[in-house]
Amino acid sequence: MTAEEIRMELARRRMTRTELAREVGVSANYMQKILRGERDAEERRAQIGEYLAEKPRIKKEMRGIS
């Protein structure tokens, strides 16, 4: 999975880079570098792709709206 594809999937899921970093066990700073293309991290991007493929998108509830 490319950095661009990961960024697009995060946007679709309304998930932050920090949340993704925590889920896959890397620092938020390292995740930022991966997503900016400052680190190749091919194996880590593959791991992130697997995580995103396995975890279904969860629709966040809108709070305070009835």
pLDDT digits (tens, 9 = 90+) for 27-65: 999 999 999 999 989 999 999 999 999 887 655 544 455
Model pLDDT, residue 57 = 66
Buried b (16+ CB within 10 A) or exposed e, 23-37: ebebeeeebeebbee
pTM: 0.78
